[in-house]
Structure 1
Amino acid sequence: MQKDMDTLGLLKKLVSIPSFSREEGPACDFLEGWMKEAGLGEVHRIGNNLWVESSPADDRPVILLNAHIDTVRPASGYTRDPFFATEEDGRLYGLGTNDDGGSLAALIQVYALLKDTPQPYRLILSATAEEEVSGRGGLDLLLPEIGRVDFGIIGEPTGMRMAVAEKGLMVLDCVSFGKSGHAARNEGVNAIYEALGPIDWFRNHVFDRVNDFLGPVKMTVTQIDAGTQHNVVPDRCTFVVDVRPNGMYTNPELLAMIKDSVNCEVKERSTRIDSSSLPMDHPAVVRGLSLGLEPFGSPTTSNQAVCPFPTLKIGPGESSRSHSADEYIVLDEISEGVRILTELLNGLEL
């Protein structure tokens, strides 16, 4: 690691710059300047996405290192200022320290360590926007600019376990219809009652195909809305379903099965957030297993979902701290992550 590369100072500064999804401009401006001063090479930018390359394009495979710079909004239970980084008892507190500042710091250091040593691949480091909202202005926007990628490390807080599979995401907007009437009389058709059958199906249905790492498809009703006032039978009940595909069905296939099974209107917001998986015989997984890294299936989505090439999700920190009040990263987790990722990537033959 370069002696003047103060990634702890970088993290503290980034905490102080709000970088909510689609509002990452000021944080991206600061990081762009920091990367230039740190001597990481020519810094490229599109939108609020940055990348640097270890060498000009050649015939070697390309490995992409990626972490995101956007955050969710702070949870209501914060007892500390979420925008003031506090170092205490070996921890760094502040919004975005765990998700995804720890991975950003680690990948920057790994890139600095590997970029000037002979490798059987070209290395690209990227810091991208809109991950928390699966937006098209993030990694989706950057990938066409950098061209071919053969393998990616997606930095996320996994406790340095290897996420060799990741569930996808579909959000469904559902509507059950009824007929309005006076609540005091036996009139109308209550749309809330009409929704109970479909809601019960989403709660209890089990799809046949189960993934060894990801388990079954998971469906959860997360929002519901109906009625205009207490004495009117509602003629419309809307509800939202969070669906986590497990890679055993394509998203369109799963959507068609759902629409055929429930007696309500179902409209998908998107089918683009696919499940992903990495074969256990992939060179990166084989190397990781030799280092004692544990493989697992991740229930949460990340930038893996938009990568049309093999990826491994791994990084310092714990997923359970993400989006929580008083978020923090343990500083030793970052240094350990740098060590493991360097060993994982140094000399890796794809």
Structure 2
Amino acid sequence: MNPRDLLADLISIDSVNPDLVPGGHGERRIADFCAGWLQTRGFEVHRLEERPSRPSLVAVRRGTGGGKSLMLNGHVDTVGLAGYAGDPLQPTVQDGRMYGRGTFDMKGGIAAMMVAAARATERPLRGDVIVACVADEEHGSFGTEEVLRHFTADAAIVTEPSHLEVTLAHKGFVWFEIEVGGRAAHGSRPELGVDAIAKAGHFLVALEQLGADLANGPKHPLLGTGTVHASLISGGEEASTYPSACRITLERRTVPGEFPQQAEDELRTILGHLTAAVPDFRATLTRGLARDPFEADPDAEIVRTLISNLGEPPVLRAEPFWTDCALLDRAGIPCLLFGVDGAGAHAATEYVDLASLDRLTDVLTGTIRQFCG
């Protein structure tokens, strides 16, 4: 069982997320492949597919009893192939690196956790080993949400790339839609019109100030402060008409200790002040997708077990982006993130360092044996 060979097989399977790229192949073919690979190595395989053609796979190797269960979690979907430099589905090896779409994010982690789970269970363990190859992390993470409605564990490791550094926290996010109202009128009749775009400018200035206030506020030791930015803006009908509406999409990135309601309250306070101070200002606020930040307990048994299998002092770090760790943590499963070294996630060139792939596989194998043994 060689993680390099398995990774090459995984890279050759198109698993582009169709919610990101219309017409993308999705996870069906790669789930079929992983199911066959794991079944031949003694795992019982469960296919979860609430959304047709978007399966997540959960493979379980039952323990003999009395031990702790461990879930290894990773996503099998990728971002799109367009713009990749070369053939994104043809794995190539050069100077100790394997190139191809998903090598780094995160089929390297998938290969390592599958091989580690198979190696670790060659001899019976007391606890269950659970391998979750999930759909849709690159868009909405419905895959891990579906898995957690059916399975749990005493601990989990998410094998997102981390450069072989122990990742104990990451940011969350909340999306909002602001619609600033105006009044349509002919451009020659200013007494009749209210310019929604100009009114939205007041909000954007206040939003920039909120960002500055956050940057100067209390800092998380690994993640710093939360942030906010305007992502999209649209409004108006034509050059000769006062715009009746201006819509702004914004994102608030949160750190542990911050919550979606807090972020909403910040924005409602701004809108309330503008409504009172700016003539004819009116706006509505709608909260969209929200994902919690994540922070692991550094003294959790799974954290201590993995660190003990590193054999060297760990580098502890945090990620600015969101991962499925937050969903596992919210479900009451202690977890951390630990994965390969490399570069190029979502980029035109993507690679994994193959020595780190081997190292990750060895660390996971030892961790599984020790935690579930």
CA displacement 1:293-348 (0-9 Å, x = unmatched)? 21112111111121112210110034x52111121112122012123333444423
Distance 1:32 1:131 in 2: 19
Aligned to 1:182, what secondary structure does the other structure show?
coil
Task: Compute the TM-score of the two structures, normalised by the length of structure 2.
Answer: 0.83
1:73 to 70, 75, 80: 80
Aligned to 1:36: 39
Q: Give, in whole Å, the separation in 2 of the partners of 1:103 and 1:40.
A: 21
Aligned partner of 1:311 among 335, 338, 346: 335
Q: Aligned equivalents of 1:316 and 1:347: distance in 2?
A: 21
Residue 103 (structure 1) aligns with: 109
Q: In structure 2, what is the Cα distance between the partners aligned to 1:285 and 1:326?
A: 32
Alignment of 1:347 with 2:356, yes or no, is no
1:133 is matched with 139
Asked if the contact 2:157–2:337 (Cα under 8 Å) also holds between the matched residues in 1, the reply is yes
Output the aligned Cα RMSD. Answer: 2.4
* Distance in structure 1 (CA, Å) of the matches to 2:187 and 2:341: 53
Aligned residues: 340
Query: Residues 311 and 144 (structure 1 numbering): CA distance in 2 closer, same or farther, change over 3 Å?
Result: same
Q: Which amino acid aligns with 1:72?
A: V
Pair 1:217 & 2:236 matched: no
Q: 2:96 corresponds to which residue? A: 90
Q: 1:142 deviation in Å?
A: 1.4
Gaps of 5+ in 1: none
Cα gap change, 1:156 to 1:221, in 2 (>3 Å) = same
Aligned to 2:277: none
Check 1:184–1:79 CA distance in 2 against 1; reply closer, same or farther (3 A cut).
Answer: farther
Secondary structure at the aligned position of 1:71 is classed as coil
The within-5 A match list for 1:48-59 is 48-56=55-63, 58-59=65-66
Contact 1:120/1:348, CA 8 A, preserved across alignment? no
Matched to 1:53, the amino acid is V
Label 1:321 to 1:10 Cα distance change in 2 as closer, same or farther (>3 A). Answer: same
Identify unmatched segments of 5+ residues in structure 2.
Answer: 19-25, 50-54, 275-282
Counterparts of 1:95 and 1:122 in 2: how far apart (Å)?
32
Query: In structure 2, how many angstroms separate the alpha carbons of the residues matched to 1:131 and 1:177?
Result: 35
Describe the shift of the 1:59–1:172 C-alpha distance in structure 2 as closer, same or farther (beyond 3 A). farther
| Structure-2 change in CA distance of 1:162 and 1:200 (3 Å) | farther
Residues 214-235 of structure 1: per-residue CA shift (max 9 Å, x gap)? 2211112111111222222212
1:15 counterpart = 2:11: yes
**2:357 — aligned with what?**
334
Deviation larger for 52-61 or 297-306: 52-61
- 1:237 equivalent to 2:237? Answer no
Aligned residues: percent identity?
A: 25
Following superposition, the deviation at residue 183 of structure 1 comes to: 3.5
- Counterparts of 2:33 and 2:370, CA distance in 1: 32
Contact 1:223 1:241 in 2 (8 A): yes
What is the rounded CA distance, in whole Å, between the counterparts of 1:157 and 1:334 in structure 2? 10
Normalised by the length of structure 1, the TM-score is 0.88
Distance of 2:206 and 2:65 partners within structure 1: 53
Give the distance between the partners of 1:57 and 1:297, measured in 2 at CA. 36
- What letter corresponds to residue 177 of structure 2 in structure 1? D
2:57 alignment partner AA: L
Give the conservation status (yes or no) of the 8 Å contact 1:120–1:347.
no
1:34 CA displacement: 2.5
2: CA distance between counterparts of 1:345 and 1:337? 12
TM-superposed CA distance for 1:75, in Å, is 5.2
